[in-house]
Every structure is written in C-alpha cells, then in structure tokens.
Chains A and B, each alone.
Chain A
Amino acid sequence: MNKLTRAGLGLLMTTAIATAQAEEVRIGMITTLSGGGSHLGVDVRDGFMLAIDQAQRDDIEVLIKDDARRPDLAKTLSNEFLQRDEVDIMTGIIWSNLAMAVVPSVVRQGTFYLSPNAGPSALAGRLCHENYFNVAYQNDNLHGAMGAYMREQGFERPFLMAPNYPAGTDALAGFKHLYEGEVADELYTQLGQTDYAAEIAQIRASDADSLFFFLPGGMGISFMKQWENSGVDMPVFGAAFSFDEIIIKAVGSAAIGAINTSEWAYDLDNEANQAFVEGFRAAYERTPTLYAAQGYDTARLILSALDKAHPDDQDAFREALRQADFASVRGKFRFGPNQHPIQDIFVREVVEGEDGEPTNRLVGLAIEDIQDVYAEQCQM
C-alpha cells in the first residue's frame, strides 16, 4: 500500500469514526472468573480489556459478568444482557457446554456473538449462524495439527488419553482425523480426575512409542507431576490447553520437554504480537497465555469492524467482521465460510526459561492454513 492510499484510507476511517461515535456501543462479556479453570476467563478478560484500553475510545462500554462455569448462570446472564442492557455484541465464554447454552439464542435474537475460546463442532457446522464468529479456533484444530505433526515426525504407535466428556472425545477424534495411522491404545479418564497412577501403569504396560493427551486445567497439572516420577520414558505431546504459562509454572520441571500445538506463541515474531506481549506484561506483570491472545484479537477485530460500521447496521458490521481487517497477534488470520478461522498452527516446546521456571518456546509450524472439517455442513 503506498503512502497516498494509506492517507486516503485514514481520512475515510476518521469520517467513519465520527459517524459511528454518534452512538455508543455496548459489549457484554460473560466469562469464567471463579471456580475451576478461572484463570482462562481472567486471561480472556485481561487481553480483551488491554486492547479496549489501548484504543482509547470513549464510545465503547464493556460489561463483564462471571458465569462460574455454570451453564444455567451463563444463560441467565445472557438474558439480562439482551433484555435489560441491550448489548450490541456479546463475547467471553470459555467452555463449550456453556457456549452451546448461550450462543444459539443470542445470535437468533439478532445480537452478534464473537467467541474468544469455545469452538464446539455444532456451531461450526449444522448450527452455524451469520451473526456468530469464532476468533479462536474450532475445538479440533490444535489436536488435529498435533496428529499431523506426530505423523510427520515418524511416530507410529501413540497412546491417546482424554477425559470422558464431549470435548475429550472430540479431541481424540480430531487427533485421529489427521493422524491417519494406528494407535497403541485410547484411554478415557473421569472428568476432574486428580490421580493418574492407574492410567500411568496402563501406559507403561502398553507398547506405545509416544503419548498424546488432552487434560485441561488442574487435571493436566496433576498428570504431568505424577508422570515425571513414574519412571516412564516416552515423549509427551498435547495441545496448548495443558501447557499454558500458568499451568506449566504449577507443573514445574515435570513439564520440560513436552511438545504442544498452539495457534499463537508469545515469542511469535510479528509487530502486533510484540506490542501485545509488551503491553500485557506492563499492564498485568505476567506473560500472557493463548487465552489472553484470543481475548486481545477478539477486541481488536471488534474495533476494526467498528471503524467501518455500527452494529445497528447489521449487514455492514457483519461484512466488516468477515474481512478481519486487523493485525492479528497470530500473524495470518482470515475467516472461512463458516466464520471460523483458517489459520496456521504452531509447535512449541516447554523449556527452562531465564528465571529457571518452565516456559514455552516456538519450535516451528505444525500445519499451515488448517480449516475445520465441519465447514461443509454449514449452510449460511
């Protein structure tokens, strides 16, 4: 883009802002700020608010509520947002079961919903909607990318493990979809389980050459700590959900060496990301997780669309969102036909940081431009 067009665009944008500012925009955020796994919601909120604060616009009001990971509460809060506060855009939900309880009715009633994390398969396929955008991923993306990566690395008999609930079975299905080979065994654990001695013995007794697991939150912490002292010698792989900065600090040295897939890394080399990581560390005195990055990208996408149209003009605002005209901290970012990202998935390794505590380091690319398999089922 040459200087002249850039200046012209800038001029256009200022006039657009001037008209948009005439009316205030209300954003309702429902996220998990208490109970199990609340650090995910805290990071989404902090990342989101960082971008809003940086934008320094006084026409945006963000209302934040805590769902305590309860679907019924999330549903009540979303009704309040829609009926009493009359929000224009909603966002924030972390868990897929909560998203399923809230999102379909929100978008049907003509409000926009942008997911900063949860990406259940139904909303990417059969139940997709023109007012629903997912700025994070479809749930399978990271698992599928790891399947492809492990295949490419020459592993032949991985052992698969996940909790026995929808996201767990989806995770292993997603992995196998792109792994396309034989697996040593599959094991489903109880959701919320904290003792994995029996499972580790089972893995030891199998003839697997590697382990892939999906155990989000505290489950992953417990598992990795017990794995370290078990004496089983096998490379460990997973999705970023078990290896965010907060989790690996709690796991400690046991996490070192684990390989994980993520659509974002804090040491990803692009301008938007450097500004984000620096800004986040300055504002909150910690390294952001991928949830913070997703919250940040969600806010920046909304801001970019607000520069062009007000949500009251639904068609124009939707079109502006579809263009995804913002510098994502992930580098490349665009929406597929079902308004879910088509994006690169990276590989990270947990290494010992300069302060002696474990941290993630970018290793390479797992898969380029991954798109979910549910897009075909989406009729929009």
Chain B
Amino acid sequence: MSATLLIEQLINGLQLGTMLFLMASGLTLVFGVMGLINLAHGSFYMVGAYVTALATASTGSFLIGLAAGTLAAAVAGGVVELLVIRRLYRRPHLDQVLATFALILIFSEGTRWLFGSSPLWLSPPEWLSGSVALPGGSRYPVYRLMIIAVGVLIAAGLYLLISHTRLGMRIRAGESDREMIGALGIDIQRLYTLVFALGAALAGLAGSLVGALQSVQVGMGEPVLILAFVVIVIGGIGSIKGALLGAVLVGVVDTLGRIFLPALFGHFMSPSEAAGVGTALAAMLIYILMAVILAFKPQGLFAAHD
C-alpha cells in the first residue's frame, strides 16, 4: 500500500463526508429545533436529483439545474411542513416515524408514476469533468473536488447563519425553549416552516450534486438517509458542529475500511475468504464506530442538550 493510494482514499473519505454533512445538517437542524424525526429527508434528496436532471436536460445548463433542484426541494419541504409535519410536532416520535415513512412511499410512488422506473440521465458539465493530477502521480476527478468545496462553503455559511444572524438566533432560541420564544412574539410556525425548508434544500443540494455522479432513480435517498442518521447520532443530535465532525469521521472510516480491511485479512487468509470476511466487516464498521462512541459519550460527540 502506497502513500499515494492512502492520500487518494483520504480525499475520497472527505468527499463522502461532505456529502453526508449536507444530508445530516438538515436532519439534525429539524430534530434539534422542532424535535421531529423526519424519515422523509431522503425524499427531498431524490426530488433535488430528479429536478436537476430534468432542468439540466431542458436548459442545457448544469448550474441552472442545480439551482432548480435545490429550490424545488426547498419548496417541497415547505409544502410538506404546511400540510403534514405541522400536525406532528406535539405527537410522540413513533407517530412521526410512521407519518414520515408514509411520506417516503408517497414520494417514491409519485415519482415512479410521473417518470417511470427507468433511471434518468444526468452527467457533470464539460467544465467539471475529467481529473487533475495529485501529488504522487495519481489523478483525482474535478467533480469530486467541487463537491468538497461546496460542502466546505455550506458548512461555513451555516455557521455564519446560526451564530451571526437574527434568524440563527431564533433557531438557537427555538432549540432551547420553544414556548418562551413564542411568548416573546416570534411567529414560531413560520420559523419552523423556514427551518424545515432549509433542511430540505440542503438535502436537495446533496441529491443534485450526487445525481450527476450516480444514478438518478426512485429510492436513491434511502441508503444515504441511514448513513446520515448514523452521522447525527455520532455527532450529537441537534448539533451542526457534531454533524460536520461525524460526517467526516463516517466518510473516512467507511472509505478506508472498505479498501483496507479485505487487504488486511488477505495477509492471513485465502483471497476469496479475506474478501468475504473483510467486506462483511467493512459494512459493519461505521456501526461499530457508532457503538464505541456511544459507549463513551452516550449523547454523541457534541451533545446539543446537556
């Protein structure tokens, strides 16, 4: 194993991590502020990818597609909050899980009804395709570097939004005591709609970005959603900082584990056995990581409500 390969895999892990952060930040924001478990978060990811694919195909511009996808996810989030989520805040978490699971089915079947079950075609634009040289002679896709850059920008933007703006102040206040900020005359219903739409927009952006890398198809959000839940549990539920650290941790551990565990077992097993054991263990690795972290810090790395 060479240093070049290790560097490339670390960047891969970082890229997966920034993508997970986009998903997990919205999820953790909605849980932290409103106390709502939203399983339908992956559906906004899918909405973003589909709208981006359609808008890119009809306008020919990937940037317009990206903007349209993010906006469409935000709108979908706002509408879902007004129609469904609003009725769930005071209900137990099990009701929220059931209702938002129903939303997943409605979104998936609706998408299939509209666009059929064949995947859509979305590719990165010309100016983002290809690869650049890495130190050590290897190459890395430009598009993935762009995803990392977008993730870093969003993380910085969220930090500024939450700690330096009036809206951010209200969001933080809503996290601590929702009755009190309502009593202070802030329209808490509108605040909730806004936060929910913001979370949906982040998921939509993640879906749009990843859609050009993977396949745009029905149900694409669910595997990512599971990883995003692991991220917020590790990072501490409700904490944006925790989501960022958790996402990078999960991204790097998952990527390195997938490659190096089978290789490790290969030293003292036959290649096919090592592949079997190594791959199986790699699939479990992030859950083992989660269990270990929770054993020492039951609230996650950055508990929002200590």
Q: Give residues in A with beta carbon < 8 Å to B.
A: 33-36, 38-39, 42, 164, 169, 185-190, 192, 194-195, 197-199, 201-202, 204-205, 218, 221-222, 225-226, 228-232, 246-247, 249-254
Contact = CB atoms under 8 A, between A and B. Distances in A.
Contacts of B141: 226, 229-231
A252 B121 contact: yes
Interface string B199-224: 00000000000101111110110010
B262 to A, nearest CB: 7
B100 interface: no
Contacts of B13: 198
A221 B119 contact: yes
Contacts of A251: 121
Interface in B121-143: 121, 123-124, 129-131, 138-143
Contacts of A34: 109, 112, 117
A231 B129 CA distance: 10
B119 A205 contact: no
B144 interface: yes
Given A194-B210, A197-B12, A230-B131, 19 more contacts: A33-B117, A34-B117, A36-B217, A39-B118, A164-B280, A185-B271, A190-B283, A195-B213, A198-B12, A204-B8, A205-B4, A218-B119, A218-B214, A222-B213, A225-B215, A229-B142, A231-B140, A247-B119, A250-B120
Interface string B105-123: 0000100100001111101
Interface string B58-83: 00000000000000000000000000
Contacts of A187: 262, 275
B239 interface: no
Contacts of A38: 117
Contacts of B264: none
A194 B46 CA distance: 14
Contact of B144 (A197, A199, A232): A197
B5 interface: yes
A92 B212 CA distance: 33
> What DSSP secondary structure best describes chain A's contact surface?
helix
Contacts of A194: 210, 214-215, 220, 223
B258 interface: yes
Contacts of A250: 118-121, 215-216
Contact of B129 (A33, A164, A201, A229): A229
B121 A231 contact: no
Residue from A36, A205, A221 whose CB has the most chain B CB atoms within 10 Å: A205
